Structure 1
């Protein structure tokens, strides 16, 4: 079954934000990549591009939440980190370092408060999921919360650096150094 225009628009927004950020992802490019008309855009997103980008940010955030849940379902925290780093390594390699995290792109959309809020909500959700998983492994709740935030921040920073350097070395550094921290956790 073929995706409808709403789903195609959301996918095109996620892709373009991953590649170019919110402001560089122009309406024409969103419509062209999503194979949709302006009428379709306004039918599904009456407020236009901002509403579409907000929805795309929510969808992208929810997808990464599922990845976090899958990775933390078994094994130990250092294995989870390996799973997350491996997931991002594949994304960066497949895209030849042109696609990063759409949530970071949305977080930088200062003139789009609803989009930025959706990015903030995604980060909060990821931190909470990871903190909960760490707590389930016996880590005190406050320590788990702080460490989860640090892990997400380190991963996101490594993704940005990897794109700029066209290398997964920053992800390797995150894996090496945070593994030690998680084992000690």
Structure 2
């Protein structure tokens, strides 16, 4: 069964925002990438590109929040951190460093758009999820909120460095240092 136009539009928007930022791609490019008909964007997103961008940020952000929480709940903080960083390694490898985080891209918008506000909310969701996970760990419980901020900032910065340098070394270094800081050992 093929995905519907709404899902294709969201997926294409997220992909193109990872490549070029929200301002760097237009409705025509999103439509062409998705294979959706011209009218479908306004059928599914009456607010046009602005509404599509906001929803793409929220959807992508929720997917990552769910992934972090699920892996950490099932396998612990060590594997949750590794899964998150591995997700970004694979994204960078598979796109030859052409794509990065659409949430960061939305947050860096020059105007106060709904997508930028949604990015702030996604970062807050990530912070809350990571804080909850870190509070459950004896080594990190007391410092959970500050460490959650550090984890997010470190990984987002490493993604930008990795993309700019065409190297996974920044993500590797961040994962190793966060593991040491958090007292985690991957076996």
Counterpart residue number, 2:141: 140
Alpha-carbon separation, structure 1, partners of 2:75 and 2:17: 33
Q: CA deviation at 1:90?
A: 1.3
* Matches of 1:80 and 1:3, distance apart in 2: 29
Name the structure 2 match of 1:43: 43
Structure 1 Cα separation of the partners of residues 11 and 75 of structure 2: 32
TM-score (ref. length: structure 2): 0.92
Match of residue 91 from structure 1: 91
Q: 1:12-71, CA deviations, whole angstroms, 9 ceiling, x for partnerless residues?
A: 100000111000011110110111223111111111100001010010001101111123
3-state SS, counterpart of residue 71 of structure 1: helix
Distance in 1 (alpha carbons) for counterparts of 2:158 and 2:176: 12
- Normalising by structure 1, report the TM-score: 0.93
Mapping of residues 17-166 of structure 1, within 5 Å: 17-138=17-138, 139-140=140-141, 143-166=143-166
Going from structure 1 to structure 2, the CA distance change for 1:112 and 1:51 (only over 3 Å counts) comes to farther
Name the CA distance, whole Å, in 2 between partners of 1:60 and 1:67: 11
Stretch deviating more after TM superposition (147-156 or 73-82): 73-82
Secondary structure (helix, strand or coil) at the match of 1:19 reads: helix
1:181 maps to 181
- Using the alignment, how far apart are the partners of 1:56 and 1:48 within structure 2? 12
Stretches of structure 2 that go unaligned for 5 or more consecutive residues are: none
**Secondary structure in 2 aligned to 1:161?**
helix
Q: How far does the alpha carbon of each residue in 1:54-99 deviate from its partner, in whole angstroms, 9 at most, with x for none?
A: 0100100011011111231244534432222222111111111111
Post-superposition offset of 1:140: 3.4
CA deviations 1:104-159 (Å, max 9, x no partner) are 11111232521001101110001110110111123435x10110111011000000
Residues 78, 182 of structure 1: 8 Å contact kept: no
Q: Which residue is equivalent to 2:11?
A: 11
